[in-house]
Every structure is written in structure tokens, then in C-alpha cells.
Amino acid sequence: MGHEEPVLIGRAGHLAHITLNRPRALNALTRPMVRMIDEALTEWKRDDSVAAVIICGAGERGLCAGGDIRVIYEDARTGGDASVPFWRDEYRLNAHIARYPKPYVALMDGIVMGGGVGVSAHGDVRIVTERSTVAMPETGIGLVPDVGGTYLLSRAPGELGTHLALTGRAVGAADAQLCGLADHFVPADRLPELRTKLAEGDVRETVRRYESVAPEGRLAADREWIDACYAADSVEEIVSGLFGHGHPAAKEAAETILTRSPTALKATLASLRRARRMSTLEQVLDQEFRASCAALATSDLPEGIRAQVIDKDRTPQWSPRELEQVTDTDVARFFALPPGGDLGLATSSHAVRP
């Protein structure tokens, strides 16, 4: 069997195709993949015969499970230099997608997590199915939600974004729509036909013909306790409020939060509150880049990846172990200038709207 490209680039009529093609790794993103996507988008932007772009994942399991965190694990353990250039390219791609001048259609079928959200949820036609599982699970590995995740989640209704960011909880189609992570629901068995028709006609009209109403989600009914508990100013207060609320789901959320990295939780809450006050995605991506670089220097990031992905024992030994032990100085590091310099997206040409 010949060597397969990790990203398949193609055309069907006026529709340009991007297929993430590492199905055995759940299409996890690598730096070469990010660069291939970015180069293709740049080329198609200038090509008048391309009317729209579609991105999907190979295999049956999902669009993309995120960045290839095994690479980040080795980097964090050995003080390597692969992660920071990857993040630079990845976050630039996220901004490129958000500002793309042609319709960018994302098929968010199956698992869409972390970096998978970054290559889909900034598009302008975001399609989920009954199989969609959308999450920003970074606090579980000692990271702050990135790829523009804190931008998207800080703009979700009420405190839904805070809930998803701190717990890392996955949502289905209706809840992804409610939180502003997706636009349209199309049953999975209609996707092949939809893709064929997208190559022939107007994107938005075609999607409207195939979309329907998603099965009911959970979050709308949970808004009452979510908005009440997550409005607090500290993670400790949020956890206390969840335990004290009385709703079983609130207690379950508190228990989930307490399994996450205490440092990452506090940095995440601060990131979300700051992102809410920022006006552009580029400003937020710059902030997330600082946070990711800071996480790389902690012991929690390699430990979190070890526990979730390498050894799969699901028992990370966080340092510090308790929320109360994380200081303001620890959190401030996540917003400090990285050793290798800033991302600088907000001040570059990338920030200019088409």
C-alpha cells in the first residue's frame, strides 16, 4: 500500500475539497497538515473557478480529535521546540478560516475536539449530525482551550461557554448550535448526497434543502443552574456554587471540574473573562498563544497527556493538586510574553477583514 497524504486536496465542480486523512489517529492535526490546508486555501482564494470550500474527515469516527498531542507530550517532557511553531501555524490557519472570503463548509460529523473545532467552527457554514460530539477538553490535559475556543465559548449564551470550557464536556448537535459552535443540522445519511449537490449549486440554498431540526439537547434545560453557578469570579466559588445548588447535574459538573488541572482551570477562567472583553478573534488567538506557551513550561501538560493518552490510567497527578494552591502569579504567567515572542496576529495583515 502506497504512502497516503495526511490531507487530501481535490475539486468537484466549483467546490474545493479538504479531507483530513489520518483516520487511525482520528485525523489528529500535525504541522504539515496545517500548512497544506493553509496553502490550499490561499490558492483557492485567488482561483475564480472555486466558489466554495468544504472540509471533512476520512473514516467513520469523526472530523478531527485535535492536535497530535503525542508530539506535544514529547516536547513538554524534553524541552523540545516543535509545539510552538505548530501553534503559530495552527492559530494563523484558524484566523485565515474565520476571514475566508468564500463559503467555507465544515462537516462536523462524529468527533470534533480541540484543533478539530479550530478548523471547523470558525467557518461560516458549520454542519453537525446526530453523531457529532463537539468539545474543548483542554483542562483535562493541563491546557487552556485554544484555536479560538475561548473566543467562541466566551460568546456562547449566558455562562454555557464557561461550563464547557471548565468541564471539557462534549456536546451533541443541538447544544453545539445553541452555543454558537455550529449552524445547521443534517442527518448523517444525507451527507454524501449533500456533498454532491454542493458542487452543483449555491451553498446556502443547498444546505437549507438538506437541513432539519436536531434532536433535543441538554443545555437549554440546564441554563438555570449553569448561569447561576458559573457567573462567579473564581473557580473555587463556581465549584462551591455547583455543589450547593442541589441539581444532580450541577454536582456532577463540580465533580468533573475537580478532576481537571487546577492551574489550567484558573488560567481558563481568566482567559474566558478576558476574551469576552476582546473585540476580535485575532486578539483572542494572540492571548491563547501566550497561554499555550506557558502551559508547555508546566508539569501539568505532560502529566495530563500521559494520564489521558499515553498510559491511559486517567489519574493525573496535578501540581499543585488543589485550586487553593494556585496563586495569582501562577495564573499571570499564562498572559506573559512567551520566550520566543508573541504571535502578533492582531497587529498583522491577518486581522484585516476581506
Pairwise CA distance, residues 233 & 5, whole Å = 47
Work out the angle between the directed axes of helices 281-296 and 262-277 (0-180°, nearest 10): 160
Catalytic residue positions, numbered: 67, 115, 138, 146
CB atoms within 10 A of CB 94: 29
Q: Which three cell numbers stand for residue 29?
A: 492535526
Whether 290 and 84 have beta carbons less than 8 Å apart is answered as: no
DSSP 11: E
DSSP 308: I
Pairwise CA distance, residues 115 & 91, whole Å = 9
167-to-29, 105, 187, 201, 260 alpha-carbon distances in Å:
23, 28, 28, 41, 8
Whether 106 and 126 have beta carbons less than 8 Å apart is answered as: yes
Torsion angle defined by CA atoms of residues 97, 265, 248 and 229, in that order, rounded to the nearest 10 degrees: -90
Across 121-228, where does the E strand assignment appear?
125-128, 133-135, 184-185
Distance from CA of residue 323 to its chain's centroid? Answer: 24
Pairwise CA distance, residues 48 & 1, whole Å = 36
CB proximity list for 158: less than 8 A, separation 6 or greater: 223, 226, 227
Amino acid identity, position 340: G
Whether 19 and 7 have beta carbons less than 8 Å apart is answered as: yes
CB atoms within 10 A of CB 160: 22
Enclosing H/E stretch for 175: helix 173-178
